[in-house]
Amino acid sequence: MFAEVDAPHHTPHFHAYYQDQVAVYGIDPIEMISGSLPKRQQRLVEAWAELHQGELTADWNLLQSGRRPTPIEPLK
């Protein structure tokens, strides 16, 4: 997730990176908004996001209020 000063986002989302590919995922519902990832990595990101949806929402709200997000455990 990224915060952009004076540029509020309207859709809560996060960015996922794999090698040279980038995808943007909405948080609620969890769905790819733009970009692309290989199918396997896409499924892993979606599974991880479902497990951590509450944390993603909380971090999004922290960023929107100008605070730092808390780390979220990666998929193992």
- Over residues 50-67, the pLDDT tens digits come to 999 999 999 999 988 889
Q: Rounded distance, CA 39 to CA 46, Å?
A: 11
pLDDT at 31: 97
Identify the helix (H) or strand (E) that includes residue 34: strand 30-35
Of 17, 54, 46, 50, the closest CA to residue 2 belongs to 17
Residue 6 has pLDDT above 60, yes or no: no
- Compute and round to an integer the Cα radius of gyration of the chain: 12
Residue 63 structure tokens: 């960023």
Distance separating alpha carbons of residues 53 and 36, to the nearest angstrom: 20
> What are the domain boundaries of the chain?
13-64
- Helix, strand or coil, per DSSP, at residue 21: strand
